[in-house]
Structure 1
Amino acid sequence: MDSASLAFAQASPDSGIVQVQGDDAAAPRNFNIPAQPLGAALNAFGRQSGLQVTLSAATSRGLTSNAVNGSFTPEQALALMLRNTGVTFRVTADRTAVIGTTSSSAAEVYVPGATQLDPLVISGGRNAISGSGYQGTPDWVYQAPAAVSVISREAIESSPTRNARDLLDNVAGVYANRSEAQNPGISVNIRGLQDQDRIANMIDGARQSFQRSAHGATQRTYVDTAFIRAVDIEKSTTSGVGSAGALGGSVNYRTLLAEDLIAPGKQYGGQVNLTTGTNQFNFDGSTAAAVRLSERFSVLGGISYKNIGAYDIGKNGTINSAATYAGDVLLFSGQEVRSSILKAEGQVTEDVKVTLGWVRNDSRFNTGNYDFVLSNGNLVKATEGVVNNTYTSALDWKTDSELIDLRARFYYNNLRNNKVEQGSVLSTGPSNYVMGTLGGSVENTSSFETALGSLALNYGMEAFNDDGKTVLTRGFVAADGTDYSNTLSGGTPSGKRDIVSGFSNAKYTPTDWLTISGGLRYDWYHAVGSAVVYGSPTQDIIGYTPGTPPTCLPSPPFPPGICFPGTDPKPILGPVYTPRYDTHVDKSGGALLPSVTIAVKPFEWLQPFVKYSKSYRPPTIMESFLNGGHDSVSISGYAPNPALRPERGETYELGANVSSNGILTERDTFRFKAVGFYREITDYISLGKIRYAQSNVPSYTSYVNLDGITRMKGIEVEVNYDARFLYIGGTITRIDTEFADSFTSPAGRSMPINSGQGAAIIFEQPKLRVTLDAGVRMFDEKLTLGGRVTDVSKTEPALGSLRTGYEMAGYRVYDIYGSYAFDPMTKLRFAVTNLTDVAYAPAVGANFYAAPGRTATVSLNYKF
């Protein structure tokens, strides 16, 4: 359908803009919208197209739409539905439909007396990857009554990163843990929660459950920025897909689709990205292309390569430990990453779409330091390789009936981490860690129009299985022939865990200004496996010296009754060896988890909302089967806790969205989201000392449940104003955390967590972080120049016997960036990070792992 056939009557020039964005904007969909009041018709259009529609109720009053039945693109369906209503638009090359343009195009017809409407904005739903918000955040974020954030494709392309975790630094309420800074895996901290699946990490919806024990973070996701189209972040659990087994939210790394590479009207398309820079930012390059083999079938493929060397830290400031540096260079901070992607998308029938995908990440890196404890100051180095394969499949079935909008997902993720130690007493230790996760989900949405308002029901289930296995390249056999291999592999133990979740959610919209959502989910888990409990030599009573009886002086010659006391038997101490024994763990449980959200819209631009939700996190494989020892210092340090319980959370949220256009100029936009939260967690899991009844050894370190309630509260703000020729935005994160500080041992004793009986460290976010980003666009927006400042308060962990290594001073970092578009297909970008060359350790990390010093990069992006 050409632009002429999309234009109908309109009131007058310059009445507004319709923006059509997102993956579904060009794809045909089945529409079944009867003639009805315009407001209701646009609601139905939003549901059936997968897009979100905003229109003032006052301006739509009294207008009736046309019926739309059949298969159309959203633009075609909208044009048919709005015929003769007074709304007209034409589709431009960048897929923007303009209402009331002053152009003299013959496609536009001006009809005197037609009704003038306020601007109508149609923006992509959750599939959209860019918009008017902070750093290009799509508009649906500011229309969703929830604590959600999106890292847009615009932000990804504008900020070359050494590692994908750098993308998280500007998201309100979110940090990337860098306590294992030499490891490129991503450990996400949301509102003070991280590791052990407290935050569900996904690639295209496929769970990333890999955990490996260490002094720092345990959970890691391996993904490269080359093929990420957007990162969706949910900061509390929901009643839908993605929240099973999670305590405090989710992060989903969504990868490219064919629509991202193929321009409208073309059969193929692609892009090439090349980046290089200073401070060992050697090379980061990728290429991806897609082709439509027919109207119904497309394929996409891409490869990338990144080579980053060990970087210099900043010159202005000091860092605590010299053990991790060679001069000003952070030891082993380089990485070499090869990634690839392959996808196929097919519109099997008018109603059914199938997508198959494969994403591979191959990361090579080193870890280590100068070890003054075990290796007498020698350099300890571990050569590591991680290969992460994520296989996904998706089926989307949308019929003419509003009762069926079904989505099914099936996936398998396999991560293999190989490690070889050099120069360490641990060279016989674990060398191969594997985590395989098989899972899937199915959900359906049924929509109804009732006399009392609109009702949408979403219901379904999701399930996944984690299968972890740790093996040794060589066993660890002592001189006496005892096999102690499990003492070195038990920190990242083998085992299996199943999680199954069923859910339902009802969304009721009785009026244009009120939405009520209520959900209920049931999570169930089953963990099964074996662990080895080792004994250890200890001093115990192995016998007694004989005592002496009382002695009395003979009578006569002495008077009778003169006696001297004897001596008691004395214990003899000696070594006692507790025998090794196997213990079997087989635990299951479940919980019913309600949630409710109420959102109101007193004005078209304002949406306050409140939300309450419960969450439930079962123990992971690591927590369930922990055993063995700490390196080779002890062979019996750890054992599983048979009494370990799942964590439970309750979260209260109060927030507001603001979306407004045309405030000071005809083209400006203002987006604002603020969310305050309060969370209580019972049975928070940490490390503590317990005694086994079968053993004479005093105690083992095990995962335990903290007594009392752990509380987290804070506020997150995200705001952006964009007038095209200039923009300014930023985020504020404020949080206060109060962890429970004791636990009850199986013997019934209350043990303080900070007396050497507890965790090495429990990570906390700093109380305050503020980011500010501003810039200008010049020369018809071909040139963009911007700057960013990030201010972070000091980090002070409250718990953990080793917390002094994780206390970081506050810092302020300045970055500048810019881009120049030679044409719509070619863009040159530059950036300078840490402009003032500050030496600092990033928050939620370790104070002996500093961030890179001043680094300049230049990037070229070419689309074809």
Structure 2
Amino acid sequence: MTQAAGAAAGDIRVNAVRGAFTPQQALEQMLRGTGISHRFTGNRAAIIGASPNVDLDVVTNGATSLAPIVARGQSDRDADQGSGFQGTPDWVYEEPSSVSVVSREAIESNPAIRNAADALDTVAGVLTNRSEAQKPGVSVNVRGLQDMNRVTTSIDGARQNFQRAGHGSYQQVFVDTSFIRSVEVEKGAVPGVGGAGSLGGLVNFRTIVAGDVIPEGKSWGGEVKAGTGTNAFNFDGSALAGVRLNDDFSIIGGVSHKRIGDYKIGSNGDLQLTEGNTIVDDRMLYSRNEVLNTLLKTEWQVTDDLNFQLSWLRYEADGAQGGDLNGSPRRDDEHYLNNTVTSVLAYDPDSDLVDATLRFWFNDTKNDEQRGYVGGKEPVSYGMTSFGGSIENTSRVDVALGELALHYGVEAFRDDGRTRTKNLDIPGGSDNHFGFAGANPSGKRTMASGFLNAELQHDDWLTLSGGLRYDHYTLSGTTVVQNQRVVVSPPRNCQSWQDIDGDGTPDPNGIWVGEDGNIYHEPGPGREFATPSCERWEFPGGQETVYDRFPVTVDQSGGAWLPSAKIAVQPFDWLQPFVSYSRTYRPPAITESLISGGHPFVPFENMPNPGLGPERGETWELGVNILQDAVFDPDDAFRMKAVYFRRDIEDYISMGRMWFEPAQRVYTTFVNLDGTTTMNGVEIEASYDRGDAYIGGSYTYLDTDFANSYKLALPAGFEGGAAQPSPAVLFVPPKEKATLDAGVRLLDRKLVLGGRVTYVSETTPEFGQLVGNYINGAYTIYDLYGSWDFHENAKLRFGVSNLTDEKYVPALGTDAYPAPGRTYTASLTIKF
């Protein structure tokens, strides 16, 4: 900061500032009522007590000029609102990396959010997978990467690692937007906490804080929201309340409830849908769900240097999946429960060497299912418990070339996957419960990582940074591979057997010696059995079904050194080009290494792969930030972030086939693909806001080229060589996605009227990569939205989604799950 005249300061006492604020908000509160002027520059510096045209390099009239102090730190990234695209905070356009933020205002202005996936649709480089659209969970795709923790997904820093196999995406994150303050999306390598085991980025849902609920200057506060709409958007409401027991301690809590039914799909368009199945009378079966969400959070300013936060977020939902099966409904009742607990201890004393954060977190996700098969319900429970922690610190020192910041720390977490079913073990036959549990295996995975990043800031125009991370993992578990085979026996010609019951014939339940010399079935009391000298003998009917079970233990570990580097220059206050390089690493997930079983009641399809290797990525980015105020008039603002990227991935993991020696046959499993999987593209987010009107948009061009072969090693006598991955595994995103958003603010900016158009190009993956119903056509969707602040403590929101009632399948979805048709919504928020 720079102060113009020393005399101007005088003996002035500024206001105390406590809590989470942007630098602008904190400075305004600190100087309110003091008479001292201030302004922020575009290079994250502020000038205090100076006229707007003061020259930082000139000292006149006895004025004292100090070197600018760059505004950094936690309070900067805590900003959840700004002048960027759909309210993106300004720090995003000052960060020399690929990062986007979905603000709370953007979430609330979305006309009809049925789940959190809808809140991410306008983010450049981001899609949400709708191939499991009957479930309330969210599967995020960033730059073509999704599932198996390729992209770290977290709530307040607590990882959400739950996976469940199905006919579509695997990863499911359960979060309700009612308590979300913002969503941060990092699309490249994550240099600090959250980067362990991440191949392509981080999506962090941040929940509200006390300052969002308790008005400034008050000791308590709250808000109540209630909304409804057409097209089975029945109710969406929440209640929040908070209290400051003193200047240092606050508690906030809340409850939200959402109830939606089976929605009606659009009526316009030439989309051809599969007859029956999930669509009946133009409604999507079992798209209904009911969600109850609760939040409890405490914030304690222990000392001026020490801050502690503790939060508990509970998500509970009921729904179903299924469809119409031969004219009769088949319904699987689903119950989802997620508990996330986080604790954060931040220590920031008056020292440039210490700015430390200690975090512990716990997450437990459970999905209980009642499978609706003929003959009664089959209960299955899928679960994942994860816990971990991290400690990080930033030290700043002045060196000859500028300010050097060292950011270093460690993080670790453990996943404990578990699937439970009722006993479906058939004596002497198959273990049918492995049709459920095998594809969602139980096992443990531990990940630990240490990192060091150095950033040199030279004269406010040059930033050089480099980092090194080491990731290490272990994965273990035990499973069973099952095999079903039919044994055919020729006519009886063996007399070497014992007649235990004296009926003169061998017992078909006894054992026998095959032509291969192997003895099948163990003899038991009351059974006749063939001796090893017996060559062959006949079973009644001439054949028998034999079931084999082969236990398999998986014990994997590995690690990698991961360097990164970045250069950013700022030739003007408003312009910042940057270039970066990084390497990333993702070890296999529990599901990938331990998969067995198969489709429900068919436990003979899959096998584990103890030798499955990790994925390794290399990414280049070239980007530019533009942040400029007063472009055409004193009150306007222009923001833009544009990035070109290229990512190469070696050993990409996909579903394939592998020989299993004990069973002498080929099974489906996860394999490492040969060659290089490449993803490259362009992402742009930009906005122009002049106060009474605004316009902004996002654009994504993404070209993905998945490696599509692997080595299928077969023993002599079997044909082998290159093989194509099994279908329904690789999700290829559309090449283009664009959003344009514009609106006006009327009646002293209390009335906002806006519209949004979203275009997504067709999805046309190469033959052999995906099944046909993932080849989706292009679509264009129009939304209208608005809000009216008719009272200082009351706001009315209203909107229309899918205005033209388009019939379409969302990108990365399937024609079994078309999107909702036209929906009108309205909500009322009252603060007190």
Task: Determine if the TM-score, normalized by the shorter chain, exceeds 0.5.
Answer: yes
Output the amino acid matched with 2:403.
Answer: S
| Partner Cα separation in structure 2 for residue 9 and residue 810 of structure 1 | 62
Partner of 2:243: 291
Q: Secondary structure at the match of 1:196?
A: coil
> Corresponding residue for 1:507?
455
Question: Could you tell me which residue of structure 1 aligns to residue 707 of structure 2?
Answer: 740
Structure 2 partner of 1:758:
726
Residue in 2 aligned with 1:726? 693
1:436 aligns with 2:403: no
| 1:839–1:98 distance in 2 versus 1, CA, 3 Å | farther
Q: Quickly say closer, same or farther: Cα 1:538–1:523, change in 2 above 3 A.
A: farther
| Partner of residue 361 from structure 2, selected from 411, 431, 437 | 411
Q: Does 1:773 align with 2:741?
A: yes
Aligned residue pairs, count: 760
Equivalents in 1 of 2:374, 2:597: separation in Å? 19
* Structure 2 length-normalised TM: 0.86
Find 1:657's aligned residue among 625, 632, 643. Answer: 625
Whether 1:321 aligns to 2:274 is: yes
Closer/same/farther in 2, CA of residues 434 and 273 from structure 1, 3 Å limit: same
Alpha-carbon distance in structure 2 between the residues aligned to 1:73 and 1:671: 22
Question: Does residue 255 of structure 1 match 2:207?
Answer: yes
Deviation (angstroms), 1:449:
1.3
- CA distance in structure 1 between the partners assigned to 2:61 and 2:352 by the alignment: 38
Aligned residue identity for 2:631:
I
Query: Secondary structure at the residue paired with 1:141?
Result: helix
Q: Is 2:346 the partner of 1:396? A: yes
Q: Deviations over 1:516-555 (max 9, x none)?
A: 1111100000001101011211578989999xxxxxxxxx
- Counterpart check, 1:671 vs 2:661: no
Q: Which residue of 2 aligns with 1:211?
A: 163
The offset of 1:319, in angstroms, is: 4.0
Deviation string, structure 1 residues 446-467 (Cα, Å, up to 9, x no partner): 0011222100000001110000
Give the secondary-structure state (helix, strand or coil) at the position aligned to 1:614.
strand
CA deviation after TM superposition for structure 1 residue 8, in Å: 8.6
Letter in 2 for 1:589: G
- Say if 2:429 and 2:547, in contact at 8 Å, map to a contact too: no
Deviations 1:831-859 (A, max 9, x none): 10000001001111112211110001011
Equivalent position SS for 2:484: coil
Is the Cα–Cα contact under 8 Å of residues 555 and 610 in structure 2 kept in the other structure?
Answer: no
* Contact 2:487/2:546, CA 8 A, preserved across alignment: no
* Counterpart selection for 2:477 from 522, 529, 532: 529
Indicate conservation of the 8 Å contact 1:643/1:746, yes or no: no
Residues 1:455 and 2:412 are matched in the alignment: no
Is 1:690 aligned to residue 644 of structure 2?
A: no
Q: 2:185 aligns to what SS in structure 1?
A: strand
Contact 1:762 1:799 (8 Å CA) reproduced: no
Matches within 5 A, 1:332-481: 332-371=286-325, 376-424=326-374, 427-428=377-378, 431-472=380-421, 474-478=422-426, 480=428
Deviation of the 1:177 alpha carbon: 0.4
- Give the Cα separation in 2 of the matches to 1:378 and 1:479: 32
**How far apart, CA to CA, are the structure 2 residues paired with 1:528 and 1:746?**
24
- Give the whole-Å Cα distance in 1 for the aligned partners of 2:760 and 2:293: 33
Q: Which amino acid is 2:221 matched to? A: G
1:397-432 CA-partner distances (Å, limit 9, x unpaired): 01111101000110110011100022447943x610
Question: For 1:221, which of 165, 168, 173 is the aligned residue?
Answer: 173
1:807-826 aligned at under 5 Å gives the runs: 807-826=775-794
Shift of 1:511: 2.2
- 1: distance between equivalents of 2:21 and 2:250? 20
Contact 1:79 1:88 in 2 (8 A): no
Quick one: structure 1 residues 137 and 426, their matched pair in 2 at CA, closer, same or farther if it must change by over 3 Å?
farther
Give the equivalent residue in structure 1 for 2:668: 701
CA deviations over 1:265-293 (Å, ceiling 9, x no partner)? 11112211111111111110001111110
- Cα 1:527–1:413 shift into 2, 3 Å: same
AA aligned opposite 1:703: F
Q: Compared with structure 1, are the counterparts of its residues 543 and 438 closer, same or farther at alpha carbon in structure 2 (3 Å cutoff)?
A: farther
Residue pairs, 1:600-639, within 5 angstroms = 600-632=569-601, 634-639=602-607
Is there any run of 5+ residues in structure 1 with no aligned partner, and where? 1-5, 11-19, 30-48, 54-71, 91-95, 103-110, 547-571
Q: CA deviation at 1:481?
A: 5.7
CA contact (8 A) 2:430 2:603 kept: no
Q: Which residue number corresponds to residue 265 of structure 1? A: 217
What's the counterpart of residue 3 of structure 1? none
Segment drifting more, 188-197 vs 270-279: 270-279
1:307 matched to 2:274? The reply is no
Q: Distance in 2 between matches of 1:50 and 1:822?
A: 27
Corresponding residue to 1:331 among 285, 289, 306:
285
Deviations 1:609-643 (A, max 9, x none): 001111111111101110112222x3210010122
Quote the Cα distance in structure 1 between the aligned partners of 2:476 and 2:491: 41
Tell me which residue corresponds to 1:555. Answer: none
1:491 aligns with 2:433: no
**Cα contact 1:825–1:863 (8 A) shared by 2:** yes
- SS where residue 850 of structure 1 aligns? coil
Q: Once the 2 structures are TM-superposed, how far is the Cα of residue 734 of structure 1 from its aligned partner?
A: 0.3
Q: Secondary structure at the match of 2:445?
A: strand
Does the Cα contact within 8 Å between 1:345 and 1:354 map onto a contact in 2?
yes
Cα distance in 2 for partners of 1:403, 1:667 equals 39
Deviations 1:801-856, CA, capped at 9 Å, x for gaps: 65201111100010111111113321111110000001001111112211110001
State the one-letter code of the partner of 1:492. Answer: N
CA RMSD, 1 decimal = 3.3
Counterpart residue number, 2:104: 153
CA contact (8 A) 2:786 2:798 kept: yes
Cα separation, 2, equivalents of 1:234 and 1:543 = 69
SS at match of 2:441: coil
- Kindly indicate whether residue 795 of structure 2 is the aligned counterpart of residue 846 of structure 1: no
Bigger Cα displacement from structure 2, 476-485 vs 246-255: 476-485
Amino acid at match of 1:188: V
**Which residues in structure 2 correspond to 1:101-180 (within 5 Å)?**
125-159=76-110, 160-180=112-132
Is residue 759–residue 799 contact of structure 1 (8 Å, CA) maintained in 2? Answer: no
Alpha carbons of structure 1 residues 162 and 98: separation in structure 2 relative to 1, 3 Å: farther
Q: Report the alpha carbon displacement of residue 116 of structure 1 after superposing the two structures with TM.
A: 12
Aligned to 1:182: 134
Deviation at residue 126 of structure 1 after TM alignment: 1.0
> Could you tell me whether the CA contact under 8 Å between 2:757 and 2:783 is conserved in 1?
yes
Q: Distance in 2 between matches of 1:297 and 1:612?
A: 43
- 2:511 equivalent in structure 1: none
Structure 2 SS opposite 1:166: helix
Matches of 1:656 and 1:722 in 2, distance apart? Answer: 19
Aligned to 1:554: none
Residue type matched to 1:135 in 2? Q
* Shift in CA distance, 778/542, structure 1 to aligned 2, threshold 3 Å: farther
* Residue identity matched to 2:589: T
